[in-house]
Structure 1
């Protein structure tokens, strides 16, 4: 069901937990129906879809509505956030953590609109997302992946504390077939150490 109106969040929803602290330039919060035009405009991009597993191209208004509905319905170790510029409040991308397959670690995913690439905004967003996951979730580790041809995303993961595990293949709807990926892992204890070092 697509949720067309905003409602108050109950305490079981990850969005009800305090959201990640704002970074210097971005804020993470819930995607809303008034974000639909920005979501479609930014997500309807073959360069973005080809770097993700499940993003269709073309990306339609119905796809954007489904994204918002999934965010509203998220529970447990699952959360989806809009990445917003603090200066304008405008949505510039989406970040999420979710259990992709039963009995598998929680997976981190994100995308940023192409006009906002190359400015370190994705790194700020992933730092906030990881902090939220480990602060309010129960997972012991997070996984992430990027295409081997996407060095920018690799840098985001490494700067966020993720450590390289191995390579694999994944089917990408946007790429139209199987693509090679690098898989990464971040353990809660490593995150906690990095947070301590950051305060030193």
Structure 2
């Protein structure tokens, strides 16, 4: 059969974005009311410099634009707000379908770093995702100078694949990114997730 006439292969989806409770956190779908908290977190150079698709400075209107797209309900993606149960947005974990592959992205307000919250949040999101997608494979990556993120991925069972340069909006420059991949059978659930 002519390759141009073949139907694209359907990608399985994990279902609607869930609410996930862990020992210390509640992960929930984003809301338009998260815009100000997101802008406050992402207007911090220490956070934004580690993200490829986030501009610096980051304004509340940037957050509202992103939220309009992600809260539309039309996407199969999971975009989870990280809260400590008080509903205050302190970070994000996303599982997005891009170019036929599931991709993990995450960030956390700097004032919550060093407490193991990101490991708990990412671990819980991956656990739920992989329970719904037992044959799933998740891709991610981190800038080469983001040792904490690379350690988190290795702790959860991600395999480091290669290094390539990507453009960072915040840095306005090409930056080395280490690509990684998690196959469902290699996932290591963290305690508390």
Q: 2:114 aligns with which of 109, 112, 118?
A: 118
Say which structure is richer in helix: 1
Q: How does 1:31-70 map to 2 (within 5 A)?
A: 31-70=30-69
Query: 1:149 maps to which residue?
Result: 145
Provide Cα deviations, 1:38-77, integer angstroms capped at 9, x if missing partner.
1111111122221111001111111111222232235564
2:87 equivalent to 1:89: yes
Q: Check the 8 A contact 1:76/1:137 in 2, yes or no.
A: no
Q: Check the 8 A contact 1:144/1:184 in 2, yes or no.
A: yes
Q: Check the 8 A contact 1:14/1:75 in 2, yes or no.
A: no
Query: 1:190 maps to which residue?
Result: 186
Q: Check the 8 A contact 1:28/1:81 in 2, yes or no.
A: yes
Q: How does 1:68-87 map to 2 (within 5 A)?
A: 68-73=67-72, 75=74, 77-86=76-85
Provide Cα deviations, 1:130-173, integer angstroms capped at 9, x if missing partner.
12322334762001101111111112111222121121111110
- Give the secondary structure class of the aligned counterpart of 2:71: helix
* Alpha-carbon RMSD: 2.2
2:19 equivalent to 1:19: yes
Cα distance, 1:152–1:111 mapped onto 2, change above 3 Å = same
Structure 1 moving runs of 4+ over 4 Å: 74-77
**Structure 1 residue 13: Cα displacement:** 6.1
Q: 1:106 aligns with which of 97, 102, 106?
A: 102
Work out the CA distance in 1 between the residues paired with 2:72 and 2:135: 19
Query: 1:170 maps to which residue?
Result: 166
Q: Check the 8 A contact 1:84/1:92 in 2, yes or no.
A: yes
Query: 1:134 maps to which residue?
Result: 130
Provide Cα deviations, 1:160-198, integer angstroms capped at 9, x if missing partner.
22121121111110111110011111012223xx45x98
Work out the CA distance in 2 between the residues paired with 1:178 and 1:139: 34
Question: How many equivalent pairs are there?
Answer: 178
